[in-house]
Amino acid sequence: MKLAIVLGTRPEIIKLSPIIRYCANNQLDYFIIHTNQHYSDNMDKIFFEELGLADPQYNLGIGSGEHGAQTGKMLMAIEKILLEIKPDLVLVQGDTNTVLAGALAAAKLQIKVGHVEAGLRSYDRTMPEEINRIIVDHIADWLFCPTDKQAKILLSEGIAKEKVFITGNTIVDAALHNIKNINQELLLKHNLKEKQYILLTMHRPSNVDDKNVLAKQLNNISRLAKDRGLEVVFPLHPRTLKNIQTFELSLPGNIKIIDPLGFIDLITLENFAKIILTDSGGIQEEGCILGVPTLNLRDNTERPECVEVGASKIVGSDFDKLSRGFDFYNQEPNFKWQNPFGDGQSAAKIMKICQNDFKL
C-alpha cells in the first residue's frame, strides 16, 4: 500500500500528525502533499517542527485566494503528483478546500479516498466547509467518523454501511501525545495567571468578514471580561488581523493581542484558561478533551457532542447568551464531563482498517 496524505492547514497538520507518526513508526510507504493553504511559518511550518514530523515531500505553494481559483490550482497540482506517483490510497482530513481538491483528484483517477473526521454536519450551507465535507463524504471510499453520531448521519444520507467506521477523533491522540510538553512559563511570558484569563480565537468569515459583526463580537467580549475582572488573550489569525486593519477597528484595551501560536503553546493557554471563547470547531474539541469549557461564537456547531456533554454552549454574537454561558461555568467551577471523542488510539484504528483492506 502506497499512501498519499494531503493536507494544507494548521488543523489538518495537527489532526493528521498521529497518522503520520504511525506511518513513520511502522515503516509504511507514505508521502505528504502540502498545498500550503496556510502558508506563514507561524500558521504552518512550526507545526511540523514541534510535532516532530518530517517535512512534506511536496509543497504546492497555493496560498489563499477565491474558492474557485484556490481549489482549481490545488486540483491541478495534486492530480499531477498522483499521476506520477500512483498511490493506492489518499487520506484527507476535515473540510477545507485542500480536502475537497485532494479527494476530487484521487476519486477521478480511481484512487481510493479515506476521509478522516467524516460525517460532521452544521446544516449551514452558508459555510464553505459544509459544502466541502458533504461532497467529500459522498465520494470517499472509507469514512472515519469520530463518534456514532456522524456514522448515523452518513447512513441517513444513503452512504453504504460498509464504508463507515467509528474510530474516534485523532485530535485526542494529538492532545494526549503533546500534553506532557505544555509549559506554564508561557503564562509568565504573556503576564497571565492560571484561570484568570479568557482565551479568545476568532477567524470564521461569519464573524470577521462583516465590520459590524466583528466590532460587536469584540465589544461583547471586552464588556464580559471587564464586568468579570478578567483579561482576554487573543492569538490573532491573519484573516482577522487583515479585516481589523481594513475596517479600521480599534481593539479594546483589555484584549491582549498575541501572534498565532504553535499547537503546544496553544493547548498550554487552553489548559490554563478560565474559559475559551472560539468559533473554531477544533478548539471546541481541544477544550472538551482538556476539561476547559468553551463558548461557541457561532449560531451552530458540527461538534454537537461538545454541547451534549456540557463542555460547550452556543452563544453566537448575543451578549446575553455569552454572559449566561460564562456565569454557568463560573458558578460550577468543578463541573466535569466525559470526553466523547475516543481513547487516543484513533490513528491506529484508521490505519489498521486501511492496512486490512490491502491485506497488510
Active site residues: 203
63: left (phi over 0), alpha (psi -120 to 50) or beta: left
Q: How far apart are CA 360 and CA 357, in angstroms?
A: 8
Distances in whole angstroms, Cα of residue 231 to Cα of each of 115, 178, 311: 39, 26, 22
Phi, psi angles (nearest 5°) of residue 35: -75, -15
State the burial class of residue 109 (Cβ atoms within 10 Å of its Cβ: 0-12, 13-18, 19+).
Answer: middle
Q: List the beta bridge partners of residue 100.
A: none
Cα torsion 38, 126, 107, 76: sign: negative
SS3 content of the chain, % helix, strand, coil (to 5): 50, 15, 35
